[in-house]
Amino acid sequence: SVLGGNRVTSGMRPYASCYGGHQFGNWAGQLGDGRAITLGEVENTRGDTWEMQLKGAGRTPYSRHADGRAVLRSSLREYVCSEAMFHLGVPTTRALSLVVTGDSIVRDMLYDGHPEEEPGAIVCRVAPSFLRFGSYELFASRGETEPLRTLVRFTLERHYPQYLAADGAMDVPGFFAEVCRRTARLVSEWMRVGFVHGVMNTDNLSILGLTIDYGPYGWIEPFDPGWTPNTTDAGGKRYRFGNQPRIAQWNLAQLGNALLALGGETEPFEAGLEAYAAELSAAQRTTMAEKLGLSVNDACISQDAELVQALMSLLVRTETDMTLFYRALADLPAWGSTHTNDAIFAALREAYYAADGVPSDVIGAIAEWVGLYHERVRAEGVTDAARTARMNAVNPLYVPRNYLVQETIDRVTRGETGALVELCDVLRSPYQKQTGREAFAAKRPEWARHRPGCSMLSCSS
């Protein structure tokens, strides 16, 4: 009953947080938890403190004209993805429970004037903190310096004690630089696994460098840096896959502007943004080397950069499943006999959405790139077995593909709750091949290409 939002136990003091945010690049003013209610904090056996928050349990002071409820569709998506991200090794909030309420909630899924009743649900999500950039922006926008100072001090005491001196002095620029570095590492991890957040407003970025607020997110299936899963973003594509690193830096600049309200010079905060760029560059270089089974070698910086750029260009020439491509590439031997163009393409064939229609010049370009890649592998001296192990440790086989999650929503709506149990079980071991579960690694079927929930999503929840 507690996780379903029906009971408050002794010691709980539920509250909803107030924050602001820049949405799609524009200041939106006060926002706040319109349907998220924090029950309190619990301490685990290791001494870690976790904030427990119900999402969809009813109205809060910040609900405005909404009902504060959530539907099964969005709640299941958040539950699945937050747990999948944890097992993928991506910093994230966690999902403790998913409760179906038995209520019917009216939602217009595509905002096209066709509302329908959907089953209601509540997710209990947990994190060390749900503070986000917008928490600090709101006080700064109002000129409320002392509440902002209090919030920053609380943040340092609880989460960044290294930036709080014994005499109480706060190193705000140092704190900001660390948030920048954490955010850079987070975005690099998103790019590694093919995650697209979909709504990277400043109220949706965590001060701890965690993935928060799983709304209209999506997973890259055909590799496309210009893809966004959010229907609201379909025109400008501000939050497209390939733009996520730039948007994160823009959001950090807004956080820096807010923290400047506490006083000080701009240069230390500019240094924080430079730290973001440096951390992102280093993280992306390491990530791409790992995805290709290579070591980071300073002597090969230029060669490796050209190899990666050539691959990125190649992946968009024909619809290529990002997840399956790296797994297939890991299995293609670099040592031994020379491969023909046809043999190379055959080994990678499963990654292509229209393999029978790939032009011969593209097949030739693929084979040429593989040849250059294998030369680099042999120059490093790494064996095929070692390279395969390296690659399969960072390139997942199982991710919560958009269509898989939608199929699970459909089945759970019909009462087949075992579908959710099985999907979550598969996603707990994303890097290991699981016998009998090949269907969970299959690329997007054609029926899902344009189906809502599988191709594009709205913020409706």
| The pLDDT of residue 453 | 85
The three-state secondary structure class of 265 is coil
Query: pLDDT class for 461, splitting at 50, 70, 90?
Result: low
Asked if residue 359 belongs to a domain, the reply is: yes
Asked if residue 390 belongs to a domain, the reply is: no
Q: What are residue 242's DSSP bridge partners? A: none
**Catalytic status, residue 203:** yes
Residues 273 and 416 in one domain: no
Helix axes 360-380, 301-315, angle to 10 degrees: 150
Size (the chain), residues: 461
Domain that holds residue 348: 295-381
In the DSSP assignment, the letter for residue 195 is E
> Which region, left, alpha or beta, applies to residue 89 given φ > 0 means left and ψ of -120 to 50 means alpha?
left
Q: What's the half-sphere exposure (Cβ side, CA atoms, 13 Å) at 330?
A: 25
> Which residue in the list 203, 213, 304, 321 is annotated as catalytic?
203
Residues 218 and 285 in one domain: yes
- pLDDT one-digit tens code per residue, 27-62: 999 999 999 999 999 999 999 999 999 999 999 999
Residues 51 and 163 in one domain: no
| The pLDDT of residue 433 | 97
- pLDDT one-digit tens code per residue, 342-382: 999 999 999 999 999 999 999 999 999 999 999 999 999 99
- pLDDT one-digit tens code per residue, 403-452: 999 999 999 999 999 999 999 999 999 999 999 999 999 999 999 998 88
Asked if residue 25 belongs to a domain, the reply is: yes
Lowest mean pLDDT across 114-123, 132-141, 201-210, 274-283:
114-123
Residues 139 and 260 in one domain: yes
Give the residue-averaged pLDDT of 206-223.
96
- pLDDT one-digit tens code per residue, 223-279: 999 999 999 999 999 999 999 999 999 999 999 999 999 999 999 999 999 999 999
Residues 64 and 160 in one domain: no
| The pLDDT of residue 302 | 87
Residue listed under structure tokens 């823009």: 250
Asked if residue 91 belongs to a domain, the reply is: yes
Residues 261 and 164 in one domain: yes
| Residue at which a domain ends, from 350, 381, 412 | 381
pLDDT of 69 above 60? yes
Can you read off the two tokens belonging to residue 39? 């029950």
pLDDT of 1 above 90? no
Measure CA 459 to chain center.
16
Asked if residue 8 belongs to a domain, the reply is: no
Q: What are residue 222's DSSP bridge partners? A: 321
In the DSSP assignment, the letter for residue 105 is E
Residues 361 and 417 in one domain: no
Residues 281 and 423 in one domain: no
Exposed/middle/buried for residue 6 (C-beta within 10 Å: 0-12, 13-18, 19+): exposed
Residues 155 and 281 in one domain: yes
Asked if residue 457 belongs to a domain, the reply is: no
| The pLDDT of residue 442 | 97
Residues 234 and 121 in one domain: no
Amino acid letter, residue 110: L
What is the longest distance spanned by two Cα atoms in the chain?
A: 70
| Residue at which a domain ends, from 243, 272, 290 | 290
pLDDT of 102 above 90? no
| The pLDDT of residue 170 | 98
Asked if residue 5 belongs to a domain, the reply is: no
Residues 149 and 257 in one domain: yes
pLDDT of 336 above 90? no
Query: pLDDT class for 460, splitting at 50, 70, 90?
Result: low
Torsion sign, CA atoms 181, 190, 408, 402: positive
Average pLDDT, the chain: 95
Percent of the chain scored above 90 by pLDDT? 89
Can you read off the two tokens belonging to residue 369? 């790139």
The three-state secondary structure class of 414 is coil
pLDDT of 111 above 80? no
How many independent structural domains does the chain possess?
A: 4
Asked if residue 233 belongs to a domain, the reply is: yes
| The pLDDT of residue 110 | 67
Amino acid letter, residue 293: G
Residues 315 and 285 in one domain: no
| Residue at which a domain ends, from 290, 308, 325 | 290
